[in-house]
Amino acid sequence: MKTVSSDPDQIQSQKEAYTLLRHLSMCHQTIVDPATKEYSSPSPDDLALVQGARLAGIEFLGQDPSTGSLQVKYNRTEECKLLHTLEFTSDRKRMSVIIKKQNGEIEMLAKGADSVIKELLIKETD
């Protein structure tokens, strides 16, 4: 990620913003029309989040059906293999994707209702 400041706090904020927008660009059910490059999605929320990330400079380029790879562009194209999608349900109140990054790391990305995600992030203390 290209930084525009040498202030450590601002650099950290930029990294966190990139991480959030990359996350939104990969965890969704949006598809890209190859002819028009327009997005379509069964979820208006997914569509809005992917379009918002694109406006901020992180563009979802699509998914290759033969390899299952997701492509996101920000200064360079990042490709990840989509290993599994856990679709949104009213019981789970969240959607998750499991991806394998180019460096071999496996990452799970999730988005959903604030109350559910917050509960998952709370660490137990003894």
Mean pLDDT across the chain, nearest whole number? 86
Would you kindly state where each structural domain of the chain is located, as residue ranges?
A: 8-121
Cβ contacts of 109 within 8 Å, gap of 6 or more: 23, 26, 27, 96, 97, 99
pLDDT at 4 > cutoff 50: yes
pLDDT at 124 > cutoff 90: no
Instruction: Give the model's pLDDT for residue 1.
Output: 47
- Stronger pLDDT, 8 or 3, i.e. the higher one: 8
Give strand pairing partners of 6: none
